[in-house]
Structure formats: structure tokens, C-alpha cells
Amino acid sequence: MFRWHPTVRGAALGAAVGAIGRGIVVALHLGDLNTVTLPIVLMASVIGAIIGAVAGLIGRIGFGAIVGAGLSVIVVVLTLPVAFLVATMGKPTLPPIVTITLIGALAGVAGGVAAGGLDRPRAVKTEAIVITSGEDPQ
């Protein structure tokens, strides 16, 4: 059963990783960082921060990665018209969707680790083992 463990640490680290990662990908893809492309990089960083914060807020490593990757794909699909317009300013191609998706997943993993996802005890099912020697204990 999934238990939600939201933490500020997870959201903060997820936001930082998402913002830095997405900003770097867009800046490298545009090539030249100047006064025209800087607002585009900052907007991409804000989107990355939001995705990373939501994914990191989940507080679980695996589920945070799934949420981060899923939100990244949704945002990429919704912003395709703007991305095509921005592509005319720099390289005539879009950043690879795999790279953007991996950054979202990485932000979710980082948030899950920061939330203590590695330290939480997991529920363990135990069963009693009865060994009999064949004799009746009465």
C-alpha cells in the first residue's frame, strides 16, 4: 500500500534538481546565452522547478521518478508549439524528449532520497513456521 510522506526537503531538492537540469538542457540546446534567450532558459527552469517540487513532494524514490517523468512528458507535449517557435531562435531542432524526461525522473528520485526514501522501514510480512517431528506433543 502506498503511504504518502510529503516533506519540504524532498520538494526543495526536487525543485532544485529540476530547475538546474532543465535550465542546462535548454541553455545548451539554444547555444548562445544572451538577452534574448535568457528569459527562455529562466522559464524552462521555473517549469523544471515546479515539476521537480511536485515529484519530490511525493517522498518516495520510485513513485517520485514516475511522477517526474510523467509530468515532464505532459509539459513537453503541451508546450510543443512554443518549443517550435523557440527552435527558430537557436538550433532548428527540439531538445530530446528522453533527456527532458530523465531530468524529471532524476528530480523525483532526488526528492525521494532527500525525503528519506532510503531510510524508511518497509513493512515486512512474516509467517510462522511450524516444524513438527512427527510425534504428537501431548
| Domain carrying residue 13 | 8-114
pTM (two decimals): 0.75
- Asked if residue 41 belongs to a domain, the reply is yes
- Asked if residue 32 belongs to a domain, the reply is yes
**71-118 tens-digit pLDDT:** 999 998 898 888 788 777 666 777 788 888 889 898 888 888 887 765
- Asked if residue 134 belongs to a domain, the reply is no
Domain count, the chain: 1
| Nearest Cα to Cα of residue 56 among 105, 112, 102 | 112
